[in-house]
Each structure stands twice: as structure tokens, then as C-alpha cells.
Amino acid sequence: MRLKDKVAFITGGGQGIGRAIAMAFAGDGADIAMAAPNRDDMERVCGEVRALGRKASAHYLDLRDPRELSAVRDAVQGQFGRVDILVNNSGIPGATAAVHELNEADWDEVMNINLKGMYLVCKAFVPAMIVRKQGVVINMASLVGEFGYPLRSPYCVSKWGVIGLTLTLALELAPHGIRVNAVAPGAVSGQRLDRVFENLARARGKPADEIRQATMHAVPLGKIVDPGEVAPVCLFLASDEARMITGEILRVSGGQGIAFA
């Protein structure tokens, strides 16, 4: 029970990686508050968390609205008293297009949710951690935030920004006893990845299965990452086992990105 009686706040906790993190944390003793645009998904996960004997709450949140975020923060702190672990997991894949063909509104939407939204969540929750002189922040980056990916510029740039925010926060918050790290998954299985493959296939004029196979071929361990393979890394970073780890970007990619070819 590495997180016994800790309180974790997870954005985007209703499905995929967010759900996997919530279940892993609850299984190791944490109470869970989550926020996302889809209340039905979150309520299902909350039921699963409660079945493990932990407390859980779901909150509707549009990360583009600071007023909603303030209300969610107040509700979470009112119910649980504090947040020990902040997981910034929310994000959208964004449009698939070349930079010169990209719609400005599509660019802004990705930046506002994936990057500015993360900044706003930190701005809302970190001050209470500073007062308590303890806390853990885990930001969800991406492998493409280190390497880039054609036709995915808004997503890539937003994740580069997440890495920059993580490194800066780690330096700013270390004197207050707060650790800040990022997890950078490769391609993660699920409906969102399926849509990304479909959009890339249309843009490139190729079958989606061909895009999928090419992605798998680029992974030395030979498979696409499962959300349940990302969650244990976050659990480790949230625990005291990682008490001397801050300012790190941990890849969960099956080795994707390490080869020169």
C-alpha cells in the first residue's frame, strides 16, 4: 500500500491511461478525485475505485475555463482536505494536417487544453502543496514531444511544452519538497489511437492498418503500449520509492525512439 490514505487528483480520469492510473493508485491505497468532460465515464471509474474500498469523486471540467477549474479545486479540497498527488493527464490528439494547411482554431484548441490547461491546473493546486511543503506532480507528456511527428504539429508542440513546464516546475518546487516528473508514452492502444491512425491514413492516402503496422515495426519490443503499462510508472513516481526523482521524463514506449535508422 505505497499510497495508503494519499489523495490523488487526476485530470482525464474516465478512460484510457487516466482510468488505468486511477485504478492503480486506488489499488495501492489512494483516494481518487478525477475531472474530465465526460461524466458518465468518470462515474463508472469511481464505482470501480469504491469497489476497492477507497473514496472517489468525479467532477465535470473544461480545462479552457479557469472558473470551472477553481470550482473543482474548491470541491476537491473541501471533500478530501488536500491533494497529495496531482496527475495532469488530460489531452486531445488534435488535427492531422501539415503546418501550412492547419486551421488556426485547431492549433489553439490543442494548446489551450494540452498545455495551457496543464498550467492552469498546476496554478490551482500547487499553492496548497507549497503551504504543506510536500506533494507530487506527474505530467503526461509524449514520445513525440521529444522527436516530432509529421502532420501532428499541434500535439507535438504541446507535448514539447509539457516537458518544458515539467522541468521548470521541478526546479521551482524542489525547495518546497514537491517533486515534478513527466511520463512520455509512445503509441498507446485505445480508441484515440485508432482515430489517429484513421486520420493519418486519410492524410497520407494509405490504409489505416498499414500505418498501424509501421508504428509497431518502429517499436523494438514489438507491440503498442497498453494503458495498464503506463500506470505502474506513474504509481512508482507517486510513491516514496521515487523520493529522489524529480525533473525526469520517463518514456514508456517499448524502446520506440531509441534507434537510429
Residue 4 pLDDT exceeds 60: yes
119 given a catalytic annotation: no
Query: Which of the four pLDDT bands, split at 50, 70 and 90, describes residue 163?
Result: very high
Whether residue 201 is contained in a domain is answered as: no
Task: Determine the 3-state secondary structure of 84 from DSSP.
Answer: coil
Is 194 a domain residue?
Answer: no
- Copy the grid coordinates of residue 98: 501539415
Would you state the pLDDT for residue 261? 43
The answer to whether the beta carbons of residues 228 and 20 sit under 8 Å apart is yes
CB 163 within 8 A of CB 143: no
Place of cell 524502446: 255
Give the pLDDT score at 257.
Answer: 80
The pLDDT assigned to 260 comes to 53
What is the structure's pLDDT at 167?
Answer: 98
Do the domain assignments include residue 39?
A: yes
**Quick check: 186 pLDDT over 90?**
yes
Residue of 60, 119, 149, 155 with catalytic role = 155
Q: What tens digit of pLDDT does each residue of 39-85 get?
A: 899 999 999 999 999 999 999 999 989 999 999 999 999 999 999 99
The answer to the question of residue 195 being in a domain is no
190 has a pLDDT exceeding 50: yes
- 240-256 CB burial, b ≥16 within 10 A, e <16: eebeeebbebbbbbbeb
Beta-strand (E) ranges in 3-84?
A: 7-11, 31-36, 56-60
Mean pLDDT of the chain: 95
In a domain, 221, yes or no: no
Q: Which helix (H) or strand (E) holds 132?
A: helix 117-132
Does residue 170 sit within a domain? yes
Overall average pLDDT of the 148-173 stretch: 96
Strand partners, 252: 185
* Mean of pLDDT values over 160-179: 98
In this predicted structure, what is the pLDDT of residue 100? Answer: 96
Q: Which domain holds residue 134?
A: 7-187+226-252
pLDDT, residue 259, reads 63
- The CATH number for 27's domain is 3.40.50.720
How far is the first Cα of the chain from the last one, in angstroms, to the nearest whole number? 43
Identify the pLDDT of residue 258: 79
Range list of β-strands (E), 81-227? 85-88, 135-140, 178-185
Is 233 a residue whose pLDDT tops 60?
Answer: yes
The count of structural domains within the chain is 1
State pTM to two decimals. Answer: 0.95
**Is residue 205 domain-resident?**
no
In a domain, 57, yes or no: yes
